[in-house]
Structure 1
Amino acid sequence: MHSAHPPSVTTIEVPFTPPFDWARLLSFIGGRASAGVESVEDGVYRRAIEWRGEEGVVEVMRHASRHRLIVAIDGAASRYADDIAAQLARMFDVEADARAIAGCLSRDPMLAPLVEAAPGLRVPGAWSGFELVVRTIVGQQVSVKGASTIMARIVQRAGRRIDGHADTRTAWRFPTPAELAAADLEKIGMPGKRVQAVQRFADAVATGALPIDTPGADVERIKRDLLALPGIGPWTVGYVAMRALRDRDAWPDADLVLMQAIARRDPALVKPAQQRAYTERWRPWRAYAAMHLWNEAAMKSGLARGG
């Protein structure tokens, strides 16, 4: 497997404790990937990155036989290989204790069959919290596919094509917060209020007011400050907390797919307040409970559902 990479590539193996559902993790990320910026193909996640001013391309795949992911970094950014691998380990949720999570969630008859069907389900992260929040705002009230279309337009309008980068799947750099805050997003296919929400958020990140991608930043404060921004409600904050802030107990409040899934299992639980009370039994792993319910909905419909 290593021989496929030229000598300029730095390869790091990132161990995980099974069970680890790589296929579903990759499929979730792939279904929501930013076109031109990142891609998922044939079991490989690929993205062009910039790390402390150095550029490169990362690839992540599962080892064919051992319990580890293989992270390959090509380009000057590879001098920071350890830091980049740590960020990818976070993104792919390798440190989750799947057995402890399953042990807790399986005690609830509502989730037990779902955990049994997908024991190593992880919460998919994101390479960039900033990018994920933008996508989440863009995706409000539109389909997963519709959000991808608008994201591609944002990338081409405000991002930057990487010079001499041959692979069209990863040839674009997602706009920086400052670039996106200043971009002209007229007629991009989004309501004016949503465009404003995206640009206000980008501005808050650009000025340092909202340190969404700063390691060690105060997660509770980020959640509060996000919620205070116009156009960002509790659902968005819960979803972002799950995926970008790595809050394992986050719950995307009032998510339609989750609400329907719970009510279908227990018709007594129809009101949001009743459902919220019920989810208490899934603490401290509510983000994983959400993934299990979304996963089941996606399997039933054959579509990317949730998020």
Structure 2
Amino acid sequence: MRLTLDYQGAYDWPAMLDFLAARAIDGLEVVRSGSYARSFCLHGLQGTFVISQAPGHGLAVELAYADSAALPQIVARLRRMFDLDADLPAIHRHLATDPLLAPLIARSPGLRVPGTWDGLELAMRAVLGQQISVAAAIRLAGKLVAQYGAPLVGSEPWLPGLRQVFPEAQVLASADLATLGMPRSRGRTLSGVAQALLENPGLFEAREHLPASVAPLLALWGVGDWTAQYIALRQMREADAFPPGDVGLLKALAALEGQPVSAQYLLARAESWRPYRGYAAQVLWTSLSRGD
């Protein structure tokens, strides 16, 4: 099945692909030739999709999934994952009033906040990434998928490299994930998050405001503010979610300021970015990766 998903404003597709490529889990995702492909499981059925930029203001999707009744839900997930519903021109006009952000936005007017296909998957990634590098976290995620993910059945021949789907919550909740090569406390957190989702299916859904959205996450053992804010930004699409203690944000702002900065300074500096601090964070993260 072929779809085209529209969006407003510009779209920095290379930046989106760079972000996804750096975090692609072996066997689950493939980024190549200007496209992103992945496997998934929804309502007990496996599927795959590949997405790329289409002419004009749209993204082209090639979807393989047996239940057409789930199409609206799949489209909603894709729109969230690729940040297609943001009023990016308005967001960037607001952020560009900051003289430090203005030139970065001018160089990449289509920079969007990457989302995620699934809240549990993002939470697992976020917990795995606590206090280690992105590359190390993705290696652990690859082990998790290889050991606990179900094999992908009947993958399309034009999607080589997709072999498994992400593990289900019930599998992760009962697994001893510390055997993957991480601190036992982190394995406990991963299993605890999966169990919390089984008990509260709305765990990763946005609520009436940001503090209410992150409160159920912060109540979980081993989940701190950085993890909760990261999940709120990429899964719940909370535009003002912001982790002020993030090392990448501190490095990026320090490079722009020309001097070291503290988390307290970053938090105060970010007040003028409300209600779009999450988009400002993406601008800063991208400036660091691109060497701006």
TM-score scaled by length of structure 2: 0.92
> What is the Cα deviation at residue 225 of structure 1?
1.4
Describe the SS at the equivalent of 2:50. Answer: strand
Partner of 1:70: helix, strand, or coil?
strand
Which piece of structure 1 moves more, 187-196 or 129-138?
A: 187-196
- Indicate which of 160, 166, 172 corresponds to 1:174: 166
The C-alpha deviation readout for 1:236-288, integer Å capped at 9, x for no partner, is 11111111110011112201121122234336873322321110100111111
Contact 1:269 1:275 in 2 (8 A): no
In structure 2, C-alpha distance between the alignment counterparts of 1:272 and 1:163, rounded to whole Å? 47
- Asked whether the equivalents of residues 37 and 48 of structure 2 are also in contact (C-alpha less than 8 Å), the reply is yes
Shift, 1:215, TM fit: 7.7
For residue 124 of structure 1, the aligned residue among 110, 114, 135 is 114
Contact 2:104 2:283 in 1 (8 A): yes
Kindly tell me: are residues 132 and 119 of structure 1, through their superposed partners in 2, closer, same or farther at Cα, counting changes over 3 Å?
same
Q: Secondary structure at the match of 2:14?
A: helix
**2: CA distance, partners of 1:177 / 1:219:** 25
> For the residues of structure 2 that align with 1:54 and 1:217, how far apart are their CA atoms?
32
| Residues 56 and 176 of structure 1: CA distance in aligned 2, closer, same or farther (over 3 Å) | same
Distance 1:61 1:250, change over 3 A: same
Q: How does 1:288-307 map to 2 (within 5 A)?
A: 288-300=279-291
- 2:31 matches 1:40: yes
Give the conservation status (yes or no) of the 8 Å contact 1:91–1:127. yes
The one-letter code matched in structure 2 to 1:171 is R
Which residue of the partner structure matches residue 257 of structure 1?
248
Q: For 1:98-247, list aligned pairs within 5 A.
A: 98-165=88-155, 167=159, 169-208=161-200, 211-213=202-204, 220-247=211-238
* 8 Å CA contact retained: 1:185, 1:195: yes
Q: Matches of 1:55 and 1:290 in 2, distance apart?
A: 34
Cα distance between partner residues in 1 of 2:144 and 2:41: 19
- For each residue in 1:175-230, what CA deviation from the matched residue of structure 2 results, as whole angstroms up to 9, or x when unmatched? 1111001123243111111111111111111222x623558798644411111222
- What is the CA–CA distance in structure 2 between the aligned matches of 1:50 and 1:216, rounded to whole Å? 25
Question: Aligned partners of 1:171 and 1:185: how far apart in 2?
Answer: 21
Q: Hey, what's the Cα distance between the residues in 2 that align with 1:88 and 1:52?
A: 16
Q: Secondary structure of 1:160's match? A: coil
Residue number among 89, 98, 108 corresponding to 2:79 in the alignment: 89
Paired position in structure 2 for 1:55: 46
For residue 151 of structure 1, report the CA deviation from its aligned partner: 0.5
Q: Which residue of 2 aligns with 1:4?
A: none
Provide the secondary structure at the position in 1 that maps to 2:63: strand
Root mean square deviation, CA, Å: 2.1
Which amino acid is 1:204 matched to? A
Distance 2:129 2:43 in 1: 30
> Compared with structure 1, are the counterparts of its residues 199 and 300 closer, same or farther at alpha carbon in structure 2 (3 Å cutoff)?
same
In structure 2, stretches of 5+ residues that fail to align are none
Q: CA 1:212–1:44 in 2, change beyond 3 Å: closer, same or farther?
A: farther
Paired residues of 1:50 and 1:77 also in contact (CA < 8 A): no
- Residue identity over aligned pairs, in percent, reads 35
Q: Tell me how many residue pairs correspond in the alignment.
A: 290
Q: CA separation in 2, counterparts of 1:269 and 1:158?
A: 42
- Given that 1:36 and 1:168 are in contact with CA atoms closer than 8 Å, whether structure 2 keeps it comes out as no
Kept in 1, the 8 Å contact 2:178–2:188? The answer is: no
Q: Provide Cα deviations, 1:111-135, integer angstroms capped at 9, x if missing partner.
A: 1111111111000000011101101
Q: After superposition, what is the alpha-carbon deviation per residue over 1:133-169, rounded to whole angstroms, capped at 9, x for unaligned?
A: 1011001111111111110111122211123436552
Using the TM superposition, give the Cα deviation of residue 81 of structure 1 relative to its aligned residue in structure 2, in angstroms.
Answer: 2.4
> Are 1:271 and 2:262 an aligned pair?
yes
Give 1:60-71 correspondences, 5 Å limit. 60-63=51-54, 65-71=55-61
> Residue 22 in 1 paired to residue 13 in 2?
yes
